[in-house]
Amino acid sequence: MGLLPYKNEPYLDWSDESNQEAMWAALEEVEEYLGKSYPLIIGAKPIETDGEIISVNPSYPSQVVGRIGRATEREADMALETATKTFESWSRTAPEARARILIRAAAIMRRRKLEMLAWEVYEGGKPWAEADAQVAEAIDFLEYYAREMLRLKDGVEVYSVPGEESRYFYQSMGAGVIIAPWNFPTAILTGMSSAAIVAGNTIVMKPSEYTSVLGAKVAEIFEEAGLPEGVLNFCPGYGSEIGDYLVTDARTRFISFTGSMKTGLRINELAARQLSNQRWIKRVIAEMGGKDAMIVDDSVDLDAAADDIVASAYGYAGQKCSAASRAIIHHDVYDDVLQKAVEKARALKVGVPESVDVSMGPVISEPQFEKVFSYIEVGKDEGERVLGEDPGDPNKGYFIPPTIYADVDPKARIAQEEIFGPVLSVIEARDFDDALRIANDSPYGLTGGVYSANRDHLERARHEFKAGNVYFNRKITGALVGVQPFGGFGLSGTDSKAGGPDYLPLHMLARTVVERF
């Protein structure tokens, strides 16, 4: 199969007014479809449910974005049954044919890009550039995993002893459950699903209850790309209602999860129990939360450091697992960097993402709004609020202003617990050693950054910073597929490195076959 070499999908140039006009047109067009209903799709059949999930626009909570089917255990059972049956044929489909469907899906997503961006704005509250980066990431996953499957389809080289031939290759695993979060509703859902599918598995796809319309769009794109019926079974529902069922069922071969630490640990525990009619150990791929730190050493470009702290802390209102939620600053430059970060964060335009200049939209939901607000309250006893005020009425949109707490103790709750909102804790360190020790004092280990001109310090951090993705002298968010494989240590997850060369084999079984001549 001849494919062009892989390259990342370019971002839209928003300084080009024709792109802005096209985006307004897409927002208008998609507005016509707000409030529509989306059934479950199991084995290509639409399945109506008694209950529904009502998805709202976080910028205008009274605006319904869509009504989505709400699976119960009955539908979850149907979806697992269909995925299990379809596995027999899909696992025998040639890897090239499976890869081709991903390439087609990428082409469709590219054609439908502005429409997808508009749904991201309505359902996710994403500023335009964030929405664009996310849809580009979804396209990248499709393109990258298709090529990865072609790379791995014949296995990898091993040595043979004289008189024998050793072969080492991969085969598909079974029916898996894909459980996705709301913060990258197109990219992460597409990435987890496409990796599982191209590896020859069938899936039950469960998007987040907050972004299920985007989930329906992703499922629609796979269908349009020609994915045979029953390979992807679209099964939206509440995690609390169908999650345990899907995870514990004996037909489930693997679970690919991205979400909070709490849910991930529960899934890991439940999946470990072996049922009497279950003939495998379920595989769990879990990518979870973070409490990501950026260290600023002395003698660096303080403006650049402050810029990147602000970009990392407030992109998508801090609702990225990779977001900087701790800035750990060397004593000698502490006051200067803090002041610059406050000024730059104050300049961010917060509002409804209706134009390209809005850099921060709302948080996703009322529970998320309440959670972040409760941490803002906790912070009042744990640091000095140098930026931000209490948020307003959530009925007018779930907006929370950029908030900075200074002089925070490294052991404070706002320095240890994942807030997942636009709240940054700033901590003073005596020196670089102290800063690295503070950064590593966390149950998480997802991303981290070091701003330093000191080569020894960078080399120490290269090996000793306890995080799956470590960035030097730049922002710590926005990992690129195929360029910065992504995933964390510790309680941030199973370090599965999405968008990297080790990811697809997690969805396959490796076989060694030896023949003596």
Q: Is 51 exposed, middle or buried (0-12, 13-18, 19+ CB in 10 A)?
A: exposed
Task: Write out the two tokens for 330.
Answer: 């060397």
Instruction: Return d(Cα 342, Cα 348) in angstroms, integer.
Output: 10
321 is catalytic: yes
Stretch that binds ligand NAD, among 24-32, 136-144, 158-166, 285-293 (CB under 6 A): 285-293
Task: Write out the two tokens for 360.
Answer: 């921060």
Which of 59, 84, 190, 258 touches ligand NAD (CB under 6 A)? Answer: 258
287 is catalytic: yes
Which of 118, 267, 333, 337 touches ligand NAD (CB under 6 A)? Answer: 267
Minimum CB separation of residue 290 from ligand NAD in Å reads 5
Residues 318-337 that bind ligand NAD (CB under 6 A): 321
Beta strands in 263-412 (DSSP E): 283-287, 292-296, 324-330, 384-387, 403-406
Mask: binding to ligand NAD, 286-305, rule CB under 6 A, as x and -? -xxxx---------------
Judged by beta carbon, residue 184 or residue 222, the one nearer ligand NAD is 184
Mask: binding to ligand NAD, 236-255, rule CB under 6 A, as x and -? ---xx--xx--x--------
Nearest-CA neighbor of 403 among 350, 334, 463?
350
> Interface with ligand NAD includes 145 (CB under 6 A)?
no
User: Which is catalytic among the residues 9, 75, 120, 287?
Assistant: 287
Minimum CB separation of residue 26 from ligand NAD in Å reads 25
Stretch that binds ligand NAD, among 4-12, 139-147, 189-197, 256-264 (CB under 6 A): 256-264
- Residue 50, Cα to own-chain centre: how many angstroms? 30
Q: Which residues contact 69 (CB under 8 A, 6 or more apart)?
A: 37, 38, 39, 40, 47, 48, 49, 52, 53, 75, 236, 237
Minimum CB separation of residue 113 from ligand NAD in Å reads 21
Stretch that binds ligand NAD, among 164-172, 217-225, 352-360, 486-494 (CB under 6 A): 486-494
Minimum CB separation of residue 434 from ligand NAD in Å reads 26
Minimum CB separation of residue 187 from ligand NAD in Å reads 9
Residues 190-219 that bind ligand NAD (CB under 6 A): 206, 208-209
State the helix-helix crossing angle for 432-440 and 455-464, rounded to 10 degrees. 20
Stretch that binds ligand NAD, among 218-226, 261-269, 303-311, 400-408 (CB under 6 A): 261-269
Which of 90, 122, 128, 182 touches ligand NAD (CB under 6 A)? Answer: 182
Task: Write out the two tokens for 189.
Answer: 């859902």
Are 401 and 350 spatial neighbours (Cβ–Cβ below 8 Å)? Answer: yes
> Interface with ligand NAD includes 176 (CB under 6 A)?
no
Place of tokens 């309505």: 122
> Interface with ligand NAD includes 266 (CB under 6 A)?
yes
Mask: binding to ligand NAD, 386-425, rule CB under 6 A, as x and -? --------------------------------x-x-----
Cβ count within 10 A of residue 210 = 23
Instruction: Return d(Cα 350, Cα 359) in angstroms, integer.
Output: 6
Instruction: Return d(Cα 119, Cα 125) in angstroms, integer.
Output: 9
Minimum CB separation of residue 241 from ligand NAD in Å reads 9
Nearest-CA neighbor of 397 among 423, 424, 425, 358?
358
Are 363 and 400 spatial neighbours (Cβ–Cβ below 8 Å)? Answer: yes
HEC profile of 349-375: CECCCCCCCCCECCCCCHHHHHHHHHH
Minimum CB separation of residue 255 from ligand NAD in Å reads 8
Instruction: Return d(Cα 12, Cα 21) in angstroms, integer.
Output: 12
> Interface with ligand NAD includes 181 (CB under 6 A)?
yes
Minimum CB separation of residue 394 from ligand NAD in Å reads 17
300 φ, ψ to 5°? -125, 175
325 φ, ψ to 5°? -115, -5
Mark out the alpha helices in 210-324 (DSSP H runs).
Answer: 212-224, 244-248, 261-272, 302-314
Instruction: Return d(Cα 132, Cα 184) in angstroms, integer.
Output: 11
User: Which is catalytic among the residues 123, 143, 209, 321?
Assistant: 321
Stretch that binds ligand NAD, among 167-175, 183-191, 302-310, 398-406 (CB under 6 A): 183-191
- Site residues for ligand NAD per CB under 6 A: 179-184, 188, 206, 208-209, 239-240, 243-244, 247, 258-260, 263, 266-267, 287-290, 321, 418, 420, 446, 488, 492-493
Catalytic residues: 287, 321
